[in-house]
Chain A
Amino acid sequence: MKFEHWFFNATPGSGFKPSWLIVAVFLIAYPGFSSDFFTFQIGAYSLILGTIALSLMMLAGYGGMISLAQMTVAGLAGYLVAILGDNSVGVMGLGWPWWLTVFVAISLAALFSAFVGAISVRTEGIYTIMITLAIAVALFYFVRQNYTIFNGFTGFAGVEPPTTFGVYWRNPLPFYYLCLAIAVLSLWAVFYISRSTFGLSLQAIRDNPRRMRSLGFNVAAHRIFAYFLSGIIAATAGVLMVWFNGRISPGSVGVEVVIDILVIAVVGGLRHPVGPFLGAIVFVLLENFAIDLIDRERFNTVIGLALLLIVLFSPDGLLGLWRRARQRLSAARQTRLAAGRATRDGGSESYNSLSNP
């Protein structure tokens, strides 16, 4: 219980910090000093994976529910884009206008997410993981075996984002900014909701569902609603994902990628909405550059080792490492300040300045 608390439990979002401005400037200027490869394959891809992992962070960090079906929800939205919109394989491709396609894809995928929630809502801990994994595997086999709608093993190719305002959105620069905008919007939404009445109730249900029931809260309904909201985020990122890849197939919702999302969220840290994005950056960098260090087949070994190291040394992820490093730095600085003041004041009252720098 104690360990779990330390591991996941996110605290509700606090106020604005100046360091965010630096990060914001960097993210906006990033394509200016990066190649197309870094803008698109690293930047945009990290943002997409980070957004899907964010949807898991919302469920796990605030709601205490670890779902392995987040990638499945994202993948379903991607499939729906290929099915309702246009694709080049000659199966389905209903040719709906892009905005209607996107809207319906996200809505249906979010409803599917609520359905996943409704199925798993009465389970806790490891059982939630198992049941959502089962759903993810079921959808994987369903899309692989169904040829009339999902085009089976082949899946769909030639899925393109629209061209609007004279911008072809799959070009690295506009696509990067599109992903950045969606990521920032999702991050802000999660952050804002964490302090809303619903967000607080979700965290309280995580801490103590029985007490929430005795205070008049319908715990199951709140959990299902949380799945629905996180489904909107995952599905939106799923639309970006299918535009990014241009194609989607059963492999896009396979067990490996489903688990990747959990890895990303845990590596980054589940205690704060920024964590999943950190995890996504590390994951994408490893995925792209691990092969320079090690054999292609050993790529998963590198990822596995990185996960092991992080979980061993910092169970609350990269964010936890960062937090502890900062605490140590500021403690060291305060000791230095106090020592300096102590010599100046001739040693009197030096310990008071520690508590009140």
Chain B
Amino acid sequence: MSNTRSSALEHLQSSGRNALELEAISRHFGALVALADINMTVRAGERRAVLGSNGAGKTTLFNTVTGDFLPTTGRVRLFGEDVGDMPSYERARRGLRRTYQISLLFGGLSVMDNVYLACSGIKRGRFSLRRPRRDDSTMESADALIRAVHLDDDRDALVATLSHGRQRQLEIALALAGAPRLILFDEPAAGLSPSERSELVEILQALPDHISYIIIEHDMDVALRVAESVTMMHNGRIFREGTPAEIENDPQVQELYLGNGQA
């Protein structure tokens, strides 16, 4: 088992394998069909936006990819490897990261501690009873990440005391830690001011080319500027796929977004 996994990884690194393949994914909550027959492929390095009204199944889709819960039917392949019922921490160690719609942070710890932990999640020594040293490589990468997301002023602040905007920045920093290969952003711009939004767009555009991401975003301005492909979801199904321009000009999509499309 582990043999096939590591060889799959090596194969992935040498070829430009897909970051994510979803085959006929469905997810039911009792009688509610949250996802139905989702097929999606995200190439390595691809940046995709997922649009759709509330209840379209976007976050549910993320949860099945991360393994927070398993799909009722269908198959998830991450970096060419069928992840089956692999727990979410194992998927994270293979390079999958995500942010949450409502920030999930460690409120009782400082910004530095939060980022430090995010950086150590995929490293050895997670059980270490020694205090990390200032010149430790994980500490250094945490420091660099804090500077990259402009949180240096709040480095030692308790996270529970941060403003909403800063918490959103930290939310993103946690997903960027430790060599991510595929990041799922769940409404990263929610509640941000216009200037914070453009800062967010800059951060997303500055991500290294090999990192793929999928972004759920209601703000079309943000979504269409940071994505090269768009998937439009409606009632748990994929409604349209295309380039930002195609989606923007699609009359049916416009109808859905302007509120006539409740049916």
Overall SS of chain B's interface: loop
B160-183 vs A, Cβ < 8 Å mask (1 yes, 0 no): 100000000000001001100000
Closest to A271 in B: B108
* Residue from B88, B93, B113, B126 in contact with A198 in the complex, judged by beta carbons closer than 8 Å: B126
27 contacts between A and B (CB under 8 A): A11-B109, A11-B158, A12-B109, A197-B116, A197-B127, A197-B131, A198-B129, A200-B116, A200-B117, A201-B120, A203-B108, A204-B109, A204-B113, A208-B107, A211-B100, A213-B68, A214-B97, A214-B98, A215-B178, A216-B92, A216-B122, A216-B178, A217-B117, A217-B126, A219-B89, A221-B127, A222-B126
B77-114 vs A, Cβ < 8 Å mask (1 yes, 0 no): 00000000001110011000110100011111100011
List chain B residues, Cβ under 8 A from A197.
116-117, 120, 125-132
Does B118 have its Cβ within 8 Å of any Cβ on chain A?
Answer: yes
A204-226 vs B, Cβ < 8 Å mask (1 yes, 0 no): 10111011111111110110010
Size of the A side of the interface (Cβ < 8 Å), in residues, is: 33
List chain A residues, Cβ under 8 A from B178.
215-216
Q: How far is the CB of B62 from chain A (nearest CB, A)?
A: 10
B89 and A218 form a contact (CB under 8 A): yes
Does A341 have its Cβ within 8 Å of any Cβ on chain B?
Answer: no
Measured in the bound complex, the distance between the Cα atoms of B113 and A197 in whole Å is 9
Contact surface of B with A, Cβ cutoff 8 Å? 66, 68, 87-89, 92-93, 97-98, 100, 104-109, 113-114, 116-118, 120-122, 125-132, 158, 160, 174, 177-178
Measured in the bound complex, the distance between the Cα atoms of B144 and A23 in whole Å is 41
Q: Which of A30-38, A151-159, A188-196, A257-265 contacts B (4 or more CB under 8 A)?
A: A188-196
Q: Which of A5, A10, A197, A225 gathers most chain B CB within 10 Å?
A: A197
8 nearest A-B pairs in the assembled complex, by CB-CB distance: A216-B121, A215-B121, A216-B92, A211-B104, A204-B106, A207-B106, A197-B128, A9-B108
A204 and B127 form a contact (CB under 8 A): no
B127 and A200 form a contact (CB under 8 A): no
List chain A residues, Cβ under 8 A from B107.
5, 207-208
Measured in the bound complex, the distance between the Cα atoms of B114 and A204 in whole Å is 8
Closest to B118 in A: A215
B109 and A198 form a contact (CB under 8 A): no
List chain B residues, Cβ under 8 A from A207.
105-109
List chain A residues, Cβ under 8 A from B104.
208, 210-211
Measured in the bound complex, the distance between the Cα atoms of B108 and A208 in whole Å is 10
Would you list which residues of chain A between 1 and 37 have a CB under 8 Å from chain B? 5, 9-12
- Given the interface pairs A214-B97, A215-B92, the reply to whether A201 lies near B117 with Cβ below 8 Å is yes
B108 and A11 form a contact (CB under 8 A): yes
List chain A residues, Cβ under 8 A from B127.
197-198, 221-222, 225
List chain A residues, Cβ under 8 A from B114.
204
B108 and A196 form a contact (CB under 8 A): no
B66 and A193 form a contact (CB under 8 A): no
Would you list which residues of chain A between 211 and 254 have a CB under 8 Å from chain B? 211-219, 221-222, 225, 229
- Given the interface pairs A195-B131, A216-B89, A216-B178, the reply to whether A204 lies near B117 with Cβ below 8 Å is yes
List chain A residues, Cβ under 8 A from B125.
197
List chain B residues, Cβ under 8 A from A200.
109, 113, 116-117
Measured in the bound complex, the distance between the Cα atoms of B178 and A201 in whole Å is 16
A196 and B129 form a contact (CB under 8 A): yes
- Given the interface pairs A200-B117, A213-B88, A215-B117, the reply to whether A208 lies near B105 with Cβ below 8 Å is yes
Measured in the bound complex, the distance between the Cα atoms of B122 and A12 in whole Å is 22
Closest to B97 in A: A214
Q: How far is the CB of A298 from chain B (nearest CB, A)?
A: 39
List chain A residues, Cβ under 8 A from B106.
203-204, 207-208, 211
Measured in the bound complex, the distance between the Cα atoms of B116 and A219 in whole Å is 17
Given contacts A11-B108, A204-B106, A213-B89, 6 further A-B contacts (CB under 8 A): A197-B116, A200-B109, A208-B106, A212-B117, A213-B68, A215-B122
Q: How far is the CB of B145 from chain A (nearest CB, A)?
A: 13
Measured in the bound complex, the distance between the Cα atoms of B178 and A293 in whole Å is 62
A214 and B109 form a contact (CB under 8 A): no
Measured in the bound complex, the distance between the Cα atoms of B100 and A204 in whole Å is 16
B108 and A217 form a contact (CB under 8 A): no
List chain A residues, Cβ under 8 A from B132.
196-197
Closest to B113 in A: A200
Measured in the bound complex, the distance between the Cα atoms of B105 and A206 in whole Å is 11
- Given the interface pairs A213-B87, A216-B89, A216-B178, the reply to whether A196 lies near B128 with Cβ below 8 Å is yes
* Residue from B105, B118, B130 in contact with A196 in the complex, judged by beta carbons closer than 8 Å: B130
A214 and B128 form a contact (CB under 8 A): no
A5 and B89 form a contact (CB under 8 A): no
* Residue from B89, B108, B121 in contact with A206 in the complex, judged by beta carbons closer than 8 Å: B108
A213 and B128 form a contact (CB under 8 A): no
A198 and B128 form a contact (CB under 8 A): yes
List chain B residues, Cβ under 8 A from A219.
89
List chain A residues, Cβ under 8 A from B122.
215-216
